[in-house]
Amino acid sequence: MSKLADFAAKTGVKYFMISYTDLFGGQRAKLVPAQAVADMEEDGAGFAGFATWLDLTPAHPDMLAVPDPDAVIQLPWKPEVAWVPADCVMEGEPVEQAPRNVLKKLVAEAKAEGLRVKTGIEAEFFLLTPEGDQISDPFDTADKPCYDQQAVMRRYDVIAEVCDYMLDLGWGPYQNDHEDANGQFEMNWEFADALVTADRHSFFKFMVKSVAEKHGLRATFMPKPIAGLTGNGCHAHISVWDLEGKTNAFVGNAGGEIGEVGLSEQGGHFLGGIMKHAEALAAITNPTVNSYKRINAPRTLSGATWAPNTVTWTGNNRTHMVRVPGSGRFELRLPDGAVNPYLLQAVIIAAGLSGLRTKADPGPRYDIDMYAEGHKIEGAPKLPLNMLDAIRALEADDELTAMLGDAFAASFIKMKHQEWNSFVSHFSRWEKEHTLDI
C-alpha cells in the first residue's frame, strides 16, 4: 500500500489536494480521491504548466506534480481532506524552475557541506472585509494599535481557531498578536528545517485564508494593502546547524563586531553573503510592484514602517535590514508577505552558501536608529526603489543566479519583466488626475 493510501485508511481522509507553488507564489492543486492516490503518488498528478505562472508553453508535455507523502497535512477544518506538497516533474526530470525543486537542490548543496539550515518566519496578514477594500473591524482605529488586547480579542474566533490547528499539527505555536497596523495580525510557530518551514509557510497562508473566509472575512498577505499603515512583513530567523541538528554553527565569538553579538566566523560569512547579495535578493524577497510601497514607505500612522530601505545590519535593533537579536541566529527583515515560501528559503541558503564559500565580510555593524539617523550613513547600498530595479539587480548578480540555478533564474527574470511591462502599460486614475489638464 502507498504511504498516502495508508494515511487515508488510518485517518478517514477521502480526498488529497496535490499542491505545488508556481513562480509567482500561486498555490495550485488537484483534488484527488483517496482511491486514486496510490497511482498519483507513483506517477504524479498531471497539470498544464502554461496555465499557471511557470515559464512554459501550451506545447510543453504534461507537468506531473509528484506528492511528497512525508509532508502530508490533514486539513484541521475539513478532516476528510489532506493537503500534500508536490515536486514538479516533466518527462522524468525535475522542472528546474519549480520553486520547491529549487529549494530542495539548495538544501542538498548545504547538506553536502555538512550544514543544515533552520529557519522560522513571522507571517503578517490583514483581516479585511470580503471585498478587500477596508479592514474588517470598524473599531480598530488606534494610532498605535500594536498588541491592542481589545482588538485581538475582537478577532479571537479567527486567531484562536488557526492557533488551535497549529497546536494540533504539532507546529509549536507560541504567540499571536495584533500587529502595528490597524487590522493586522501575526502568528508565530517554532523554527524548523528550511523545507519544513517552507511547506508550513505555504500551508499557513492557505489555512489563514480558508479560516478567514469561513468567518466571513478576507485575509491578505499583500505587502502594502492600505496606504498609510504598516505593511505585511515576513521576517525570517536564520541559523545553521550540523547535520544532526544538535550543534548551532552560528554560535560563537568570532571577534570584532560579529563576535560581540554572539556569531561565529561561519555565521559572519553567511551573514556576509546576505549583505553582499541584498539588492538582488530583493527581487525574490519582495517580488511584487506593491512590495516597494512597503520597503520605501514614508512614515506610517504608527510612526514607523518597520521595514528597511538600506543594506545594513545591527545587534538587537529593529530599524535595520538584518538584526542579530541574540547568539547563534539573525533575523532578515527584508521579506514581505508576497514572498514565495519556497523561494524565500532557497535564496537565503543560496546567498548564505555564497558568503561561506567566498568568506564574505558583512561590513560594519551600525547600532544607530536608522529611522532617525540613517541619513548619516555613507557607503551603505540602498535597497531597490521598485520591482524593475530589483529584477535588474538579480539579473546582474551572476553568482546568486548560478547558485539558484540558471534555468530557474532565466525563467523568473523573464516572467518578472513581463509582469513589470504589464504594470507600466496600465493606465491609472492617478495619471488622469495629474496630467489630463497639463
Q: What is the pLDDT of residue 298?
A: 78
Cell of 221: 498577505
pLDDT band at 1 (very low <50, low <70, confident <90, very high): low
DSSP 163-223: HHHHHHHT--EEEEEE-SSTTEEEEEE--EEHHHHHHHHHHHHHHHHHHHHHTT-EEE--S
Assess whether pLDDT exceeds 90 at residue 254: no
- Mean pLDDT, residues 247-256 taken together: 94
Where are any strands of DSSP class E within 34-115? 45-47, 63-67, 73-74, 81-90, 93-94
Cell of 366: 551600525
Q: Chain centroid to CA 110: how far?
A: 20
Say which amino acid occupies 277.
Answer: H
Alpha-carbon gap, residue 169 to 183, rounded angstroms: 26
Say which amino acid occupies 258.
Answer: I
Q: Which long-range contacts (CB under 8 A, 24 or more apart) does 41-49 make?
A: 41/2, 41/3, 41/4, 41/5, 41/66, 41/67, 41/69, 42/2, 44/18, 44/86, 44/89, 45/18, 45/86, 47/20, 47/88, 49/88, 49/90, 49/95
**β-strand 218-220 against 116-128: which pairing, if any?**
antiparallel
Max CA separation in the chain (angstroms):
72
Alpha-carbon gap, residue 92 to 329, rounded angstroms: 39
- Mean pLDDT, residues 153-172 taken together: 98
Segment 93-115, tens digit of pLDDT: 999 999 999 999 999 999 999 99
Non-local (6+) Cβ contacts of 422 within 8 A are none
Q: 84 has which bridge partners?
A: 18
Locus of grid cell 477521502: 14
Segment 315-369, tens digit of pLDDT: 999 999 999 999 999 999 999 999 999 999 999 999 999 999 999 999 999 999 9
What values do phi and psi take at 129, rounded to 5?
Answer: -65, 160
pLDDT band at 305 (very low <50, low <70, confident <90, very high): confident
The angle at the Cα of 26, spanning 187 to 92, to the nearest 5 degrees, equals 120
Segment 187-242, tens digit of pLDDT: 999 999 999 999 999 999 999 999 999 999 999 999 999 999 999 999 999 999 99
Assess whether pLDDT exceeds 80 at residue 62: yes
